[in-house]
A = this chain, B = another copy of it.
Amino acid sequence: MVSNATSKRSRAVVLLSGGMDSCVCAALAARDHQAAAVHVSYGQRTEQRERRSFESICDRLEIRDRLLVRNAALGAIGGSALTDPGIAVPESHAFGAGAPVSISAGVPVPVTYVPFRNAHFLAVAVSWAEVLGAEKVYIGAVEPDSSGYPDCRPEYYRAFNEVVKAGTKGGTIRVVTPLIAMHKAEIVTLGLELSAPFDLTWSCYQREDRACGVCDSCVLRLRAFREAGAEDPIPYAEAAARSS
């Protein structure tokens, strides 16, 4: 289903949350490398559902090497609606409408921001890449149409690659962000071209049975499929969200 575009089967580690962006990213990694997938549970509201998506996406993409790890720190630290039950996940009917908790360089950061989260994920992926002898770490970070998280911007990954260069034995592992400049609708189109298993993905921030359709993540996802002229194959709780 995913073709081998390159003959060289160098190894790559891909961070796979189970959402649509990381699913497309994993499909790219699996097309071009012998991919190994890592998933981090960190006490987020939908962790059971995400883990199920991780396993089934790996099955479909034929990724055998898998690492499932629990991060206890992010839940203990809190400070986010995703990890602290005392902070509500805001409803959002338009991009950027999440309640901002801080302004940095004019960018409102929503309460769903998990402080410095992607550094935890990248640390795991780079450590594993070092042990596996992988040359790349794939992460499906996206800047446009995303939620305004500081750790989804290109400058963050440029800086992180300097850390990897300075702080690993060989200094040759590269963190790559193939989706970072893409709009969500373009990611849907790319995923359809790659036969990425969107039916197995989960993006909702707050529900695990059917996607809520009203959180930031659901709203961005639904809009992306609509703009790409495609049907989102996962079930939603609120039919209204599909036509919003």
Interface residues of A (CB under 8 A from B): 40, 67, 69-74, 76-79, 101-102, 104-105, 109, 113-120, 122-124, 126-128, 130-131, 150-151, 153, 155-156, 158-160, 162-171
- Would you list 16 pairs from A and B whose C-beta atoms are within 8 A, ordered by A residue? A71-B73, A79-B127, A79-B130, A79-B131, A104-B169, A105-B171, A115-B127, A116-B167, A120-B124, A120-B127, A156-B163, A156-B167, A159-B162, A159-B163, A160-B167, A162-B163
4 tightest CB-CB pairs across the interface, nearest first? Answer: A79-B131, A159-B162, A115-B130, A119-B123
State the Cβ distance, A208 to closest chain B Cβ, in Å: 22
Copy count, this protein chain: 2
Query: Given known contacts A73-B71, A159-B162, is B119 in contact with A126 (CB within 8 Å)?
Result: yes
Q: Known A150-B171, A171-B104; judge A127-B166 contact (CB<8 A).
A: no
Chief secondary structure at chain A's binding surface: helix
The distance in angstroms between the C-alpha atoms of A71 and B72, with both chains bound, is: 7
Contact in complex: A77, B120 (CB < 8 Å): no
- A160 to chain B: closest CB distance in Å? 5
- For residue A227, give the distance in angstroms from its CB to the closest CB of chain B: 28
A119-B163, A156-B163, A159-B162 known; A150 vs B127 contact (CB < 8 Å): no
Taking the closest CB of chain B, its distance from the CB of A127, in whole angstroms, is 4
Q: Return A200 CB to nearest CB of chain B, in Å.
A: 24
CA distance A118 to B119 in the complex (A): 11
Report the separation of the CA atoms of residues A105 and B131 in the bound assembly, to the nearest whole angstrom: 19
Verify A109–B77 contact, CB threshold 8 A: no
Contact at A166–B155, with CB atoms within 8 Å?
yes
